[in-house]
Amino acid sequence: MAFVKAIFVVVVMMVGATTAAPVTAGAAAAVGEPPGRQAGEPTAFLERLAGEWSVVSEAVLGPGQEPVRTESRELARLLGGKWLVAESTGAAPGGRPVTSILTLGYDPVEERFIGTYISSMQTHLWSYTGTLDDSGTALTLDTEGPILGDPARTAKYREVIEIEGADHKVVRSMILGPDGEWFEFARAEYRRDG
């Protein structure tokens, strides 16, 4: 139970801000990209995530418990046609203000997505690597970080960003349990503003 409660704190910090912003699609191959690869090919996914979003997140503290609901806002913008910078603001349960920043981009040499995440509620810098599915609608990001409440221990985490429509995306957050199975502890629904 303590393991699951520690996960909830991660949810509050990560789920409300796990989103990417656009990278210009259709641009010519950039410096550092293999010949023949279009800069926008893998990053067109990120383009669809740019904008202003209202976010409703739910996190489960433990088996059989009702989810805890939080609301936040996200502003995601493109930086230099290569990087997404997404800033989220909201409140943790109990009303404490939370701000977080997510960066995402595509590394053409490694042929994978990369990113970072920071939050006003913690000192850990999260580093992501990930891949886009064949349909081009779901980005899976993997990371490793501390288990809150026991910073000497770490766990593997996974975020899956799925495009459900032009104005709707979903982020699912998971942790790899001691049994080797992924446990989904949070889900965030993003709706585009205006």
What is the rounded average pLDDT for all residues in the chain? Answer: 81
Exposed / middle / buried, residue 180 (Cβ in 10 Å: 0-12, 13-18, 19+): exposed
pLDDT at position 80 is 83
- Give ∠ CA 154-155-159 in degrees, rounded to 5: 135
Q: For 93, list phi and psi in degrees, rounded to 5.
A: -55, 135
Domains of the chain: 2-192 (2.40.128.20)
- Give ∠ CA 99-80-27 in degrees, rounded to 5: 130
* Contact between residue 2 and residue 25 where contact means Cβ atoms under 8 Å apart: no
Is pLDDT at 188 greater than 50 in this prediction? yes
pLDDT at position 30 is 39
Q: What percent of the chain has pLDDT over 70?
A: 76
Residue 24: pLDDT band by 50, 70, 90 thresholds? very low
- Mean pLDDT, residues 42-61 taken together: 89
| Whether the model pTM is above 0.85 | no
Is pLDDT at 7 greater than 80 in this prediction? no
pLDDT at position 109 is 95
Is pLDDT at 31 greater than 60 in this prediction? no
List pLDDT tens digits, range 110-168: 999 999 999 999 999 999 999 999 999 999 999 999 986 688 899 999 999 999 999 99
Is pLDDT at 16 greater than 70 in this prediction? no
List pLDDT tens digits, range 70-120: 999 999 999 987 899 999 999 988 889 999 999 999 999 999 999 999 999
Is pLDDT at 62 greater than 50 in this prediction? yes
pLDDT at position 46 is 86
pLDDT at position 41 is 60
